Amino acid sequence: MWKSTTWKALTLGALIPLALAAPALADDRPGPRMMFEEFDLDGNGAVTLEELQSHGATRFAQADANGDGLLDRDEMLARAQARAETGIDRMIERADADGDGLLSQDEIAEARDGRRGPNPERMFGRMDANDDGQITQDEFQAAAERFMERRG
């Protein structure tokens, strides 16, 4: 079984580079708009009590590709991959100024302008506990633990 610290490291290992490299993803984070779309199962623009109550079961069923009532590693990875692809497609659609299907650093920066997003300097300052201009493994681990505590 994976240790809690391994999960934290893996989570931060995935989240921090993404936050630093693709700030234009800010609108693709789970939020009210995306959550509403997920709860509005029939897509009619309204959420019923039944849709709200069945949301978890519906998401589980969508991920359970073989219909055996269990989620295996491959099914969970496929679901995560599909969600990542949707987010990336949205980011490209929103930020690809020249329509070539590719994002340059300038296009990402332009898409980020005026949006609330990750601030690398602030993030670094919070992690560099002794203000020596470097983040040690201990400082990184401490920041990861604080992050996980805030996220519950």
Report the candidate in 114, 143, 102 with the shortest Cα–Cα distance to residue 126.
Answer: 143
> Per the domain annotation, does 82 fall within a domain?
yes
Residue 32, pLDDT score: 45
Q: Is residue 19 part of a domain?
A: yes
Please report whether residue 18 resides in a domain.
yes
| Structure confidence at residue 101 (pLDDT) | 94
Domain contains 134: no
Is 55 within a domain? yes
pLDDT for 30 equals 45
Residue 48 lies in a domain: yes
Q: What is the pLDDT of residues 45-95, one digit of tens each?
A: 888 888 888 888 888 898 999 999 999 999 999 999 998 998 899 889 989
CA-CA-CA-CA dihedral for 136, 141, 147, 151, to nearest 10? 160
Query: Mind listing the pLDDT tens digit for each residue in 121-146?
Result: 788 888 889 999 898 888 888 988 88
Q: How many independent structural domains does the chain possess? A: 1
- Is pLDDT above 70 for 148? yes
Q: Which residue bears the tokens 């359970």?
A: 64
Res. 6: pLDDT tops 60: no
Quick check: is 63 in a domain? yes
The parent domain of residue 60 ranges over 4-118
Query: Domain for residue 144, yes or no?
Result: no
| Entry pTM | 0.47
